[in-house]
Amino acid sequence: MSVHPPPNAVLRERAPAKVNLTLRVLGRRTDGYHDLSSLVAFAGVGDRLALLPGAELALMLEGPGAPSLAGEGDNLVLRAARALAALVPGLVTGRFTLAKRLPVAAGLGGGSADAAAALRLLARANGLASNDPRLFDAALATGSDVPACLYGRSCVMGGRGEAITPLALPRFGAVLVNPRIAMATADVFRALALALEPGTHRAEAGPEPAGATRSGLLAWLRSEPNDLEPPARALAPVLGAVEAALHGTAGARLVRMSGSGATMFALYDNCRAAAAAARIVAAAHPEWWVKSTVIG
């Protein structure tokens, strides 16, 4: 049974980066969204969100990414809180403080992860069970990636984001690289120019990986691409240089773009190899955002 935190207690949550290991765009829906199939994993790096419960809903920004969000009229944290308040009468909200560490509009689901963290904090502040269906409903109302971020573990994400199938994955060392380019998802989908009428579909994505061995998963990942990578590369040719830099590091097992870009990732057998690779890439390209982490 959930319990309420002590009065005036500051609650804290991690908002880990979401990495799309694969992303297939299967078709256009009549509601304006696209049907997707994506194997999603979460990284050790991410934002941090705190909540001081109170009567007034507010958001304070800090961290290196704060200036990029300062002009936003409606941050996803606030949108998620309002969505849940519409479903839970008398919901206690309060003042959020977001430490923005992930690059913005980077294909890492940073805003969605922040929104999911806000929902988890509000659940704790109000004594809601973590599996309360209203949390999921508020997540989906906030954004297509928020339900997967609310789940917060590796899974296959289907539909427009409402279908979540858990899938255990082996852990990899990883390097995330963003050339400090903000990539609007809508622009990438327009560049994809999916030649389908609303309500029609392409061939389905391949079957989920059988088993979760490292070699088996890597073989499957190489056969299932990110359909948004080619149009993103057309919009941001520097992604070719990012890919080359990651491929040039020792032990890179897979290099691919996450989400709608412009962050690319490389997978390694362990954290030590990933950390060594990150140092090399960061030294060669100090203007890029480079982080070594763990995925799985």
291 is an active site residue: no
Tokens of 265: 């990732």
**Best CA proximity match to 38, nearest among 59, 55, 21, 53:** 21
* SS3 readout for 97-140: EEECCCCCCCCCCHHHHHHHHHHHHHHHHCCCCCCCHHHHHHHH
**Residue of 35, 145, 227, 291 marked active site:** 145
Q: Are 142 and 83 within 8 A, CB to CB?
A: yes
Distance from C-alpha of 69 to C-alpha of 50, rounded to nearest angstrom: 17
Is there a cis peptide before residue 262, judged by omega within 30 degrees of 0? yes
Residue 133 vs residues 90, 129, 130, 146, 150: alpha-carbon distances, Å: 17, 9, 9, 14, 12
18 is an active site residue: yes
Residues with Cβ within 8 Å of 219's Cβ and at least 6 positions away in sequence, in order, are none
**Residue of 18, 35, 114, 227 marked active site:** 18
Q: Find the Cα–Cα–Cα–Cα dihedral 150, 153, 156, 159, rounded to 10°.
A: 0
Residues with Cβ within 8 Å of 110's Cβ and at least 6 positions away in sequence, in order, are 15, 17, 46, 47, 65, 100, 102, 103, 104
**Best CA proximity match to 51, nearest among 99, 104, 111, 103:** 99
Handedness of CA 219, 159, 169, 77 (dihedral sign): positive
Pairing of strands 93-99, 172-178: unpaired
Residue 36 vs residues 165, 220, 246: alpha-carbon distances, Å: 13, 17, 27
Please identify every residue annotated as catalytic: 18, 145
